[in-house]
Amino acid sequence: MKMNSDVLTVIRNINFLFDTNYSEKGFLTESHHDAISFFTTQACWYYAYILKKIFPNGDVYLGDFSVGHVIFNLNNKYYDVRGEYYFYNKEKFYCDKEVIGSPEYDHSFHKEVINLCDLIVKDINIKFQTIEENNTLNKI
């Protein structure tokens, strides 16, 4: 997919989509999370995974134990569920080139969260593909 949108626009759309379509479905039925509360409670790797799927040229960065956070890098800017991440410190993060995540994500809901992430990626890609097609039609 050709992605003309900036990362912050995509983040806003992911969060809106999560809050409106996914926040109380599937394994989240009893949890009542919004995007920020879900992806900041030991699920930040999944958010970086979503961004990596949408922007394959970016990289996932794992924080060390003192940081305990995972962020996404694209064009030397860093992002998480809240938008641009300004606290990047190269001494505290390392690039996860294989996007393997952390052993702590080996939990009973891991497969369901990955499925949720893949649904979000699919929905975001469809949304932006439709926008791009409409923009192309408007130019004709």
Q: What is the pLDDT along the chain (140 residues), one digit of tens a residue?
A: 444 468 999 999 999 988 888 777 665 666 667 888 888 887 899 999 999 999 999 999 999 888 889 999 999 999 999 999 998 888 999 888 877 655 555 666 777 788 888 888 999 988 777 666 555 556 65
In a domain, 47, yes or no: yes
Query: In the prediction, which pLDDT does 1 show?
Result: 41
In a domain, 1, yes or no: no
Answer whether 0.85 is exceeded by the pTM. no
Which of 24, 14, 133, 134 lies closest to 80 in space, CA to CA? 14
In a domain, 53, yes or no: yes
Domain with 72, as residue range(s), is 7-98+105-129
Query: In the prediction, which pLDDT does 82 show?
Result: 95
In a domain, 2, yes or no: no
Q: Are 72 and 60 in contact (CB under 8 A)?
A: yes
Query: In the prediction, which pLDDT does 101 show?
Result: 59
Which of 60, 53, 70 lies closest to 96 in space, CA to CA? 60
Which residue is listed with tokens 């979503």? 50
In a domain, 135, yes or no: no
- Number of compact structural domains in the chain: 1
In a domain, 138, yes or no: no
In a domain, 136, yes or no: no
Query: In the prediction, which pLDDT does 2 show?
Result: 43
